[in-house]
Amino acid sequence: MRKIHQGWRILIGLIGLLGILIISQWAVPAQAATNYNGANFTTAAKVTNGPDFKHADTIDIQYHLDFGTTPLHNGDTITLDFPENLRGKTPGDTFDVTDESGEVIGKAVASDTGVVITMNDALEEKINAKLTLNLATKYRYDDTGEKDVVFPLENNGSSTSTINMVANEANLSKNGTIQDDGTIKWTILVNRKNLHLKNVEISDTIGDHQEMIHGVTVSKAYWTSATGYKREKPAMTADDYQVTYHDQGFDLTFNDDLDQMVAIDYYTKITDPSLIDSGYKFRNNAEMTWGGGTSTDAEEAAREEAEDKEEAAKEAEAAAAKKQAAKAKQTAAKAKQTTAKPKTTAKATATQSAGRTVNHNRKLPQTDEAPVAWATLSGLGLLLAVGSVRVLRRH
């Protein structure tokens, strides 16, 4: 009987010990996730393309972050704010952060004002994580001219890139967006400058790996900002234009003169779905013919570039003339002060040096740089990449 009582006491003791262990596990709180301000770990940041941009152009930016001895845990987030005058190109865009083997180590979500990366447990118990982010943005405002893009850095520092915003003078443009169903929505903007054009005809030729889907929507449109526009409703009808479809696209003729912008929307089907996520660039070519001549989107871009160069040359010539006039004025004043005969006016001779054309399309200093060299640190070094995201870490 005594042995039975002892056995019960041992059993009860074990059960009590097990209960204490279970309760203690419950009592230990799970490690709370930390939201890191990416600026506190940003060692460098810059604009990587340009420097000249139209308001619809993509401005590529790059961040380098170094977390040093700060570990990154499952659920931790890293928030990076865009510079004040830039905005996210595609707010809501979500993409995986993966290492070189394809393992997902986090997920990033872009917004209008920045990007947030949420880490998983792949970097648990690891330090010295280094992160390189390449992100797509657009200029936030409608003004033009040179603008400073200021990036906050660690230790209250900052890095500044200079971009030049120029007006888009093209009268014809085209844009395509891949849809979830494997099609591409194309939009041609005709008569962007709201000119009075007669006998307007549009000829569109689709590129490789696409099939034309019959059916276009033609709408009068108006600008709401430097890059934004709205289509008027209802859309134009078949009484306003004639369209002929063929295997490589379509031809469209307007029945009446145009005096405002028109948006032509249509779709093509992607014939090789494997190209959608491969980085392949689907292309299309649009041409506008009117009573006075023809214009392709490529020709419009070339004409615009030539006009920019001509304007730059005029500005440079005016600046040189102004500088020369000021110099001549200073020389005359000096001669007047030093002459021994106050009533005698000395003749001034001004020799203009050979002029030169200033091309504002030249890269600004911050973009004239050598290719980036990568080096792994001692120990275990891994280069991680996610499309536009690269991470370098070691134990």
Which among 277, 296, 315 is the end of a domain?
296
How far apart CA 191 and CA 291 sit, in angstroms, is: 13
CATH number for position 88: 2.60.40.1280
Which among 252, 267, 296 is the end of a domain?
296
Which among 296, 331, 354 is the end of a domain?
296
Number of independent structural domains in the chain = 2
259 and 146, same structural domain?
no
195 and 143, same structural domain?
no
Indicate whether 320 belongs to any domain.
Answer: no
332 three-class SS: helix
The DSSP H or E segment spanning 15 is helix 2-27
Q: Strands 52-53, 158-165: parallel, antiparallel or unpaired by DSSP?
A: parallel
Say if residues 191 and 171 touch (Cβ distance below 8 Å). yes
Say if residues 39 and 353 touch (Cβ distance below 8 Å). no
How far apart CA 249 and CA 159 sit, in angstroms, is: 47
Considering only the C-alpha atoms of the chain, give the largest distance between any 2 of them, rounded to a whole number of Å.
140
Indicate whether 23 belongs to any domain.
Answer: no
pLDDT value at position 374?
26
Query: Which of 201, 209, 205, 199 has the alpha carbon at shortest distance from 174?
Result: 205
How far apart CA 70 and CA 75 sit, in angstroms, is: 15
177 and 155, same structural domain?
no
**What is the chain's percent helix, strand, coil content, to nearest 5?**
20, 40, 40
pLDDT value at position 6?
61
pLDDT value at position 363?
32
73 and 157, same structural domain?
yes
269 and 199, same structural domain?
yes
Indicate whether 345 belongs to any domain.
Answer: no
201 and 153, same structural domain?
no
User: One-letter amino acid identity for 117?
Assistant: I
Indicate whether 365 belongs to any domain.
Answer: no
**Alpha-helix residue ranges (DSSP H) falling in 198-296:** none
Name the DSSP class of 275: G
- The number of CA neighbours under 13 Å toward the Cβ of 245 is 10
pLDDT value at position 117?
94
Say if residues 70 and 41 touch (Cβ distance below 8 Å). yes
180 and 162, same structural domain?
no
Q: Which domain holds residue 249?
A: 172-296
CATH number for position 292: 2.60.40.740
Identify whether 83 is preceded by a cis peptide bond (ω within 30 of 0).
no
Beta bridge partners of 162: 148
Instruction: Give the chain's count of helices (H) and strands (E).
Output: 2, 24
Q: How far is CA 243 from CA 209, 217, 286, 289, in A?
A: 23, 11, 14, 14
Indicate whether 45 belongs to any domain.
Answer: yes
* Tens-place pLDDT, residues 208-260: 999 999 999 999 999 998 888 999 999 999 999 999 999 899 999 999 999 99
User: One-letter amino acid identity for 356?
Assistant: R
The DSSP H or E segment spanning 13 is helix 2-27
289 and 176, same structural domain?
yes
Residue ranges in the chain modelled with pLDDT below 50: 27-28, 336-395
Indicate whether 329 belongs to any domain.
Answer: no
pLDDT value at position 213?
96
Q: Which residue has the tokens 């390449």?
A: 134
